[in-house]
Amino acid sequence: MGRFALFAALLLSGNAFAAKWIGETRTEDGIDYQCKCYSDNACWPTNREWSSFNKTLNGALQLALPAAASCHYKFENYTFNTYDAAKCAEVTKKIGNGMEGGDEQWLTDHPIAQLWPFMTNNTCPLTKDPSTPCTRGFMGHYVVLATKIEHVKAGVDFAREHNLRLIVRNTGHDFIFKDVKFVKKYTGPGDWRGTAVTVGAGIQGRELYRHAFAQSPKQVVVGGECPTVGWAGGYIQGGGHGPLSGIYGMGADNVLSFDAVTAEGKYVTANAKENPDLFWALKGGGPSSFAIVTSVTAKTFPEVPTAGVTININSTHTNDTALFNKGVHIFNNQSNHLSNLGIFVYFEMGPGPGRLHIAPIVGPNMNLTQLQAATQPLFTELDAAKVPYDTHFRAFPTFFEFYMDMFEDEPPSPNAIVGGRLFTQRDMAEHSQAISDALVTAALTGINVGHVVNPGHGAPKVDNAIHPAWRNASSFVITNVLMSGTEPWSERKEKEAFNTNVVGKAMREAGPYGASYVNEGDLYEPEWQEAYWGDNYPRLLEVRRKWDPKGIFFAMTTPGTESWSVVDYGRKLCRKVE
């Protein structure tokens, strides 16, 4: 097997319910907590224990250095010099500024770098002054560069035994768990007997599309829009929507089997026959929650011709705000029609007023004539309302060729607070104007990234943990409240509250029958159990308690994390003492 980017940043994650707590106890805002073990605690592993652990890993344990450390003389209180002018210049180019530049692949190949440095608290930023401080922020102390599943098990065991937080990262560099094997006929448990692929956890979306396209005959898989998303990790475990969801369902709908390492350090297979409860939960029940997935087997399908169209309505066409907003509503009001034809639409609004960028509308298994007919009602309404726009149609013999040509890569390193809402067919039928108004308002303080998609059209009924609202979906929109990345903690918390209680509230009120999506949602979503999981939550909670009773894994707003909070300015994971 190739290498895997477990990249377990070991901070904490251990025996949450032991009779004697191993770790810090603290009180914050009147609440008593038992925390995981950190470097300022007596329970932190000794240098000898870290050294012994590294020997177990055959030298795969590394100090976790932020990507921009080479632009600073010092990293925290370590005595070695981290500054390297040449490396700093390279890193500056690779990270970018959030709006342009940057290299997503380089960042995902790095052991701990993030596409969104804002989520690490930006405590080691790019700088032209190397004397400025560089600290780890929310990142881990050490990272396991796992090259085999035994390393994954060792990381889980060490974290559990020492009550350390365990952070799992599934994308990887070079051949890091990037094994891919296609079969003409799947013969494993379940009813599927068509083509399938087994994918290592280090594979990213565009890689998998390319591998499928290279088969004879050519194949497609359900994947996402972003090329660097780790396909077998959070994408699948959160549900996984994408350009082909309208004809084949969600990514998790197509999974046939998982190989994984559990919280107890056991190697397991989960499918329709073996460990079916874990199999059900891993299919959309939440990332970093039930086990560490090392490989996934999923259905593949024959390549399909695909047509697409881009549409722009912006200030180059009109500065009339009312006319622009009318165009937004006309487009939004077509969501049910388009999604019920199996069409997928990717669009952006903002930053600020007067920008709607639809790029692209995807017609899988459609030729140019069919897509033109499907979108004609949209253009007819825009023309009748005298909304100006520009548009461009293209057709391709395969989805892969379409994807490579018409989807635009996004720059990494934005500073933003994320929210989102899934609007159902009923929401759109009854409240489309309110939804349009909420989208226009949200774009004033940030960027909306929207998706017109109905996985229920392609897979109307699947037994998995995905929120049932996805079976009747019309549109899913991610909101982003833009930040500079240098705000003090108090201002950050104010913006988070604005995102939840103003932007998010308007979206929830506009779509009362909808839901939220854990992979692209608000970390402070109210009543998140219902918003992210719906009626599936009680069963998910039961599975979580069975497979991870000690709380080894953690991700906010995932099943079984009600008693856990990130405190001390986001630095420590602690359990409330009941």
DSSP conformation class of 175: T
> What span, in angstroms and rounded, lies between the C-alpha atoms of 247 and 343?
8
- 356 to 337, 348, 389, 473, 554: CA distances (angstroms): 19, 6, 10, 21, 37
pLDDT of 404: 98
Compute CA 177 distance to the chain's CA centroid, rounded to the nearest angstrom. 19
pTM of the model: 0.94
pLDDT of 120: 87
In 3D space, the residue among 178, 384, 182, 203 whose CA is nearest the CA of residue 297 turns out to be: 182
Contact by Cβ (8 Å): 274, 267: no
pLDDT of 551: 95
Contact by Cβ (8 Å): 295, 398: no
Contact by Cβ (8 Å): 9, 112: yes
> What span, in angstroms and rounded, lies between the C-alpha atoms of 401 and 404?
5
In 3D space, the residue among 520, 510, 386 whose CA is nearest the CA of residue 436 turns out to be: 510
pLDDT of 173: 57
DSSP conformation class of 128: S
pLDDT of 172: 62
Mean residue pLDDT across the chain? 94
Q: What residue ranges of the chain have pLDDT lower than 50?
A: 1-18
pLDDT of 189: 97
* Helices 205-213, 399-406: inter-axial angle, 10-degree rounding: 140
In 3D space, the residue among 1, 7, 5, 11 whose CA is nearest the CA of residue 552 turns out to be: 11
Contact by Cβ (8 Å): 11, 4: no
> What span, in angstroms and rounded, lies between the C-alpha atoms of 352 and 304?
37
CA dihedral of 179, 181, 187, 193, whole degrees rounded to 10:
130
Domains of the chain (ranges; CATH) run 193-302 (3.30.465.10), 306-534 (3.40.462.20)
Point out which residues pair with 448 in neighbouring strands: 349, 479
Contact by Cβ (8 Å): 158, 26: no
